[in-house]
Chains A and B, each alone.
Chain A
Amino acid sequence: MSTTYQDRPLTAPIVDASTDAWWTGAREGVLRIRRCTSCAKVHWYPRPVCPFCMGDTTWEDASGRGEIYSVSVTRRAGPIPYAIAYVRLDEGVTVLTNIVDCDLDELRIGQRVQVCFKIADGGASIPMFAPAGS
């Protein structure tokens, strides 16, 4: 069995005070995460107030590399199958995402992945992940 990745339409993302800089980073090809200036921990999803200690937080660039923590190919929620996944970034946080540009049936937990970007309606770049080396 093989399920070749196909692009699906992506609606324009929500841009607001807490996401604006993240989408700007994505447009520049960078995946950003948020680190606390008090306790130095990174968290996900990004918040201005640290969920560990309530300190202020700041953006930093992530490596864009990680491994699949869990993955599911959703086959019956529309015409195009897609792989939803949790990816544990090398920085230590686990993010909800899609895995793209591969045979979706070959995806495995533990597999190394690398960030890539898909264009949404309106031109925003949406960070997603593809198998490393692909």
Chain B
Amino acid sequence: MTLKRSACIVGAYEHPTRKAPDKTVAQLHAECARGALTDAGLTLQDVDGYFCAGDAPGLGPLSMADYLGLNVRHVDSSDTGGSAYLVHVSHAAQAIAAGKCNVALITLAGRPRTDASSIGTGPRNVTAATPDVAWEAPYAPITVNMYALAAARHMHEYGTTSEQLAWIKVAAAAHAQHNPNAMLRELVTVEDVLNSPMISDPLHKLDCCVVSDGGGALVVARPEIARSLKRPVVNLLGAGETLKGQSSGQVDLTYSGAAVSGRIAFVEAGVTAADIQYASIYDSFTITVLMQLEDLGFCAKGEGGRFVADGNLISGVGKLPFNTDGGGLCNNHPANRGGITKVIEAVRQLRGEAHPKVQVPNCKLALAQGMGGLLGSRHGSATLILERV
């Protein structure tokens, strides 16, 4: 079975809020679900598959499907952190191809900004029974330093510089200035990034993503259904997923799971990185982007620093427009999980509905890449390749 053109993304919605003290997490899920179904031209009654991950309150899909009023015959709560929603798109396509559902709804929402919870300098949400915790918690691993360790090693191996990493933030900000919902809309310079406080060497404050409330939803449907709707048809061409850990003590921080998930997705799609016109790249930190670009084959391993410099990721300026909504670095990182917004902006680009200042002309082939968990220890990676018919 191949997933190539087996399913379509027919609905996509990003909640406009970035701070929601007046809404519950469940409500945000519902508002996102409504938005995506409205976007698709479908109703609650059309949905027969539901997907959510660890941000969903209660017992995941059990609680949320009941809350949303869904009657489903297929359910999936695979959780790979922020990459889960790209995994869900792939799993939804698999379920559709297997006849297990026709219309799949994927939701994400959270309020980390309001709740001041689990930001990059706080401890991770783990329990004593998590098998790695006893061996690692005494040393205070937190989100930012578990990415910083990968950045430090990349600099050591390949000569990557803080200036090069800063260009990734500069590009994201260049896009975010056009997004009225973005948390950070001010242009930033390389110097601004380098002069921002050092959080964990070599990552500065402006190397980090925003902490925002909000959410998003996607609707994935059978191609026959997609063609009956009024929206442009966005096909899934290829999908890959993997997990990368510490390899039982053979730690290698020079590559990410994108090296595996990307290869799987490109083979399935039958295209190469050179064919991609727009890329959504998970951007929890600047180093996250740089390593995934290398691992996906947009440049050679170790060349990421030179690739991202001088505005090469800025739409209309460089060769590879990325995260034209401003990404997690400037726009939105709802529930501390940026995967769904990566898919949403890729869908906007393919439909020609990105902001005119950042829209890639005649965008027909896009990639969305997600990474969840911790780059420096254990993470999930998922890659989607999408085309507009």
A75 cross-chain contacts in B, Cβ below 8 A:
197-201
Residue ID in chain B nearest A120 by CB atoms:
B138
Residue ID in chain A nearest B147 by CB atoms:
A72
B138 cross-chain contacts in A, Cβ below 8 A:
10-11, 13, 98, 120, 126
A63 cross-chain contacts in B, Cβ below 8 A:
none
Q: How far is A51 from B197 in the complex, measured between Cα atoms in Å?
A: 40
Q: How far is A93 from B141 in the complex, measured between Cα atoms in Å?
A: 18
A51 touches B248 (CB 8 A): yes
A42 cross-chain contacts in B, Cβ below 8 A:
249
Q: How far is A44 from B249 in the complex, measured between Cα atoms in Å?
A: 4
A114 cross-chain contacts in B, Cβ below 8 A:
none
A84 touches B139 (CB 8 A): yes
Q: How far is A49 from B250 in the complex, measured between Cα atoms in Å?
A: 17
Residue ID in chain A nearest B152 by CB atoms:
A70
Q: Which of B135, B142, B201 contacts A46 (CB 8 A)?
A: B135
Q: Which of B45-53, B126-134, B316-324 contacts A (4 or more CB under 8 A)?
A: B126-134
A96 within 8 A of B: yes
Q: Which of A51, A73, A126 contacts B200 (CB 8 A)?
A: A73
The range of chain B's interface size is 35 or more
Q: How far is A14 from B126 in the complex, measured between Cα atoms in Å?
A: 13
A77 touches B249 (CB 8 A): no
A47 within 8 A of B: yes
B137 within 8 A of A: yes
Q: Which of B137, B149, B205 contacts A86 (CB 8 A)?
A: B149
The range of chain A's interface size is 35 or more
Q: Which of B149, B203, B250 contacts A70 (CB 8 A)?
A: B149
How far, in Å, is B126 (CB) from chain A's closest CB? Answer: 11
B246 within 8 A of A: yes
Q: How far is A14 from B198 in the complex, measured between Cα atoms in Å?
A: 31
B140 within 8 A of A: yes
Q: Which of B134, B149, B151, B202 contacts A16 (CB 8 A)?
A: B134
B249 touches A74 (CB 8 A): no
Residues 333-360 of chain B: 1 if any A CB is under 8 Å from the residue's CB, otherwise 0? 0000000000000000000000000000
A69 touches B251 (CB 8 A): yes
A70 touches B249 (CB 8 A): no
Q: Which of A16, A47, A69 contacts B153 (CB 8 A)?
A: A69
B136 cross-chain contacts in A, Cβ below 8 A:
45, 96
Residues 41-66 of chain B: 1 if any A CB is under 8 Å from the residue's CB, otherwise 0? 00000000000000000000000000
Q: How far is A18 from B129 in the complex, measured between Cα atoms in Å?
A: 11
Residues 84-114 of chain A: 1 if any B CB is under 8 Å from the residue's CB, otherwise 0? 1110100011111110000000000110000
B156 within 8 A of A: yes
Indicate whether A96 sits within 8 Å of B141 (C-beta atoms), given known contacts A42-B249, A70-B150, A74-B148.
Answer: yes
Q: Which of A82, A92, A95 contacts B140 (CB 8 A)?
A: A82
B162 within 8 A of A: no
B145 touches A70 (CB 8 A): no
A44 touches B248 (CB 8 A): yes
Q: How far is A84 from B376 in the complex, measured between Cα atoms in Å?
A: 11
B144 within 8 A of A: yes
A109 cross-chain contacts in B, Cβ below 8 A:
152-153, 156
A14-B137, A76-B200, A78-B121 given; 20 more Cβ-contact pairs under 8 Å = A11-B138, A16-B134, A18-B131, A19-B134, A44-B248, A45-B135, A45-B136, A70-B149, A70-B150, A70-B156, A71-B201, A72-B151, A74-B199, A75-B197, A75-B199, A75-B201, A84-B141, A86-B251, A96-B141, A98-B140
**A residues bordering B, Cβ < 8 Å?**
8, 10-11, 13-14, 16, 18-19, 42-47, 51-52, 69-78, 82, 84-86, 88, 92-98, 109-110, 120, 126, 128
3 smallest beta-carbon distances between A and B, as pairs: A93-B249, A44-B249, A72-B148
